[in-house]
């Protein structure tokens, strides 16, 4: 799935390698419509027939991450509708089994997923693994007593806002142009340009040797493109792209969530952290890791939902520097299961005039004449 389907996230470099293959695999069909079901859009769909068509790719990504496999483990390359491979037939049975378990035992809540048994392996893990190091059993703690010593989540959000320069400083930033390098596929380095405009427009272009790849949010929806091909993001992808495009995100976090919980987070790069869990009505949660000393946001984990489970996206922020009176990360690493890339910013310029057309998707290429 990662090899043939796009990893759906802002600037995700897997898109660069697989986007053309995705287009070729679905050339016989028009772009997915939000109103269409999977059965209406794809050939030979036998389970998940009634889910929206734009949820099939996230579901395939979830299977790929849960089993640690690629598309061709189940599918015939360039002929995804064929049933020639046994694992594809097995996958259908496993999906039906998972849905039945949740329906009959958990009131339909998705408690059991592919990952519950597979844990990143093609075959389910049925025997406990012997760890290389001795692990002490976890001791029960009085969480009510522990929570009294934790800071309030709202206090951490305010500390983060102050650390980056405050709401007034953020308001003064109307646009930003950043140039740097992106490192992925081992140690391959490629130039990247990122244009942002308040309140929530953003376009990033990765300059590969063979082509440019673009990921953008135009203020209303997200889109991705490679030469000659444009693909609109679905609603969940667009929501993530909108968060990435928000130049004043530190000031908006306090109103983004319906509920906030806090616990002590893991150490990141030698820094102790507080973990704030943010709940949103009707949307997957967001995890925010704040440096206990500086207050900076060091890690953000968000999820896109699929019919089979949540697909995680982790972004680690580092190298905070001043940029026009606001502290921003000059380096961030974006990771999904089996995929990771790092962006290092080399220059950042504020309040540069940028026309709105910069963020609009290009017109699709006309179909070739027959």
> Do 170 and 106 fall within a single domain?
no
Total of domains in the chain? 2
pLDDT(24) > 70: no
- Looking at the domain assignment, is residue 86 inside a domain? yes
Q: Tell me the pLDDT band of 191, cut-offs 50, 70 and 90.
A: very high
The 3-state DSSP class for residue 24 equals helix
- Looking at the domain assignment, is residue 130 inside a domain? no
> Do 111 and 163 fall within a single domain?
no
Boundaries of domain holding 106: 14-118
pLDDT at res. 35: 66
> Do 298 and 349 fall within a single domain?
yes
| Residue among 42, 6, 40 at smallest CA distance from 26 | 42
SS3 content of the chain, % helix, strand, coil (to 5): 30, 35, 40
Q: Tell me the pLDDT band of 139, cut-offs 50, 70 and 90.
A: low
> Do 60 and 191 fall within a single domain?
no
> Do 43 and 108 fall within a single domain?
yes
- Looking at the domain assignment, is residue 76 inside a domain? yes
Q: Tell me the pLDDT band of 263, cut-offs 50, 70 and 90.
A: very high
What's 35's domain CATH number?
1.10.468.10
- Looking at the domain assignment, is residue 69 inside a domain? yes
Q: Tell me the pLDDT band of 23, cut-offs 50, 70 and 90.
A: very low
- Looking at the domain assignment, is residue 364 inside a domain? no
> Do 107 and 182 fall within a single domain?
no
Least confident piece of the model among 92-96, 163-167, 195-199: 92-96
φ, ψ at 23 (rounded to 5°): -60, -45
Q: Which of 64, 96, 118 is the last residue of a domain?
A: 118
Tens digit of each residue's pLDDT (9 = 90 or more) over 282-317: 889 999 999 999 999 999 999 999 999 999 999 999
> Do 212 and 98 fall within a single domain?
no
Pairing verdict, β 259-268 and 271-280: antiparallel
Longest CA–CA span in the chain (Å) reads 73
pLDDT at res. 16: 35
Q: Tell me the pLDDT band of 347, cut-offs 50, 70 and 90.
A: very high
- Cα–Cα distance measured from residue 72 to residue 85, given in angstroms and rounded to the nearest whole number: 9
- Looking at the domain assignment, is residue 3 inside a domain? no
- Looking at the domain assignment, is residue 5 inside a domain? no
| Residue among 85, 33, 281, 67 at smallest CA distance from 59 | 67
pLDDT at res. 369: 56
Q: Which of 65, 93, 118 is the last residue of a domain?
A: 118
Least confident piece of the model among 30-44, 77-91, 95-109, 267-281: 30-44
What's 156's domain CATH number?
2.50.20.10
The 3-state DSSP class for residue 48 equals coil
- What mean pLDDT, rounded, does the chain reach? 85
- Looking at the domain assignment, is residue 143 inside a domain? no
Q: Tell me the pLDDT band of 130, cut-offs 50, 70 and 90.
A: confident
- Cα–Cα distance measured from residue 40 to residue 313, given in angstroms and rounded to the nearest whole number: 29
Pairing verdict, β 259-268 and 229-232: unpaired
What is the per-residue DSSP string for 29-70? SPPP-TT-BHHHHSTT--SSTTSBGGGHHHHHHHHHHHHT--
The model carries a pTM of 0.83
| Mean pLDDT of all residues in 68-74 | 87
> Do 159 and 271 fall within a single domain?
yes
> Do 158 and 87 fall within a single domain?
no
> Do 95 and 179 fall within a single domain?
no
Rounded to the nearest 10 degrees, the angle between the axes of helix 153-164 and helix 249-256 is 170
Q: Tell me the pLDDT band of 331, cut-offs 50, 70 and 90.
A: very high
- Burial of 209-244, coded b for 16+ CB within 10 Å and e otherwise, reads eeeebbbbbbeebbbbbbeeebbbbbebbbbbbbbb
> Do 194 and 341 fall within a single domain?
yes
């Amino acid at each position: 799935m990662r090899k043939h389907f796009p990893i759906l996230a802002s600037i995700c470099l897997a898109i660069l390698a697989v986007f053309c293959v995705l287009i070729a695999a679905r050339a016989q069909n028009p772009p997915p419509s939000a109103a269409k079901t999977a059965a209406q859009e794809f050939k030979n769909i036998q389970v998940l027939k009634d889910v929206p068509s734009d949820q099939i790719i996230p579901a395939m990504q979830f299977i790929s991450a849960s089993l640690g496999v690629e598309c061709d483990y189940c599918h015939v390359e360039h002929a995804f509708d064929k049933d020639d491979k046994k694992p594809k037939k097995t996958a259908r049975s496993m999906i039906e089994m998972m849905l039945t378990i949740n329906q009959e035992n958990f009131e339909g809540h998705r408690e059991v997923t592919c990952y519950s048994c597979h844990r990143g392996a093609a075959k389910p893990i049925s025997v406990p693994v012997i760890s290389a190091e001795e692990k002490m059993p976890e001791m029960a703690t009085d969480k009510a007593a522990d929570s009294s010593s934790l800071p309030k989540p709202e206090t951490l959000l305010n500390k983060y806002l102050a650390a980056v320069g405050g709401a007034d400083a953020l308001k003064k930033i109307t646009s930003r142009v950043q140039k740097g390098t992106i490192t992925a596929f081992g140690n391959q380095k490629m130039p990247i340009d990122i244009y942002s405009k308040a309140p929530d427009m953003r376009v990033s272009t990765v300059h590969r040797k063979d082509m440019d790849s673009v990921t953008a949010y135009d203020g209303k929806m997200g889109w991705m493109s490679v030469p000659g091909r444009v693909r609109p993001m679905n609603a969940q992808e667009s929501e993530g792209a909108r968060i990435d495009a928000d130049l004043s995100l530190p000031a908006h976090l306090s109103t983004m969530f319906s509920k906030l919980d806090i616990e002590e987070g893991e150490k990141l790069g030698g820094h102790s952290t507080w973990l704030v869990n943010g709940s949103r009505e009707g949307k997957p949660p967001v995890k925010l890791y704040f440096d206990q000393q500086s207050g900076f946001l060091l890690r953000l984990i968000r999820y896109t939902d699929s019919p089979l489970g949540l697909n995680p996206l982790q972004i680690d922020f580092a190298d905070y520097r001043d940029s026009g009176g606001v502290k921003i990360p000059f380096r961030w690493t974006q990771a999904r299961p089996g995929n990771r890339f790092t962006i290092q910013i080399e220059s950042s310029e504020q309040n540069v005039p940028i026309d709105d057309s910069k963020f609009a998707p290009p017109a699709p290429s006309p179909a070739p004449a027959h």
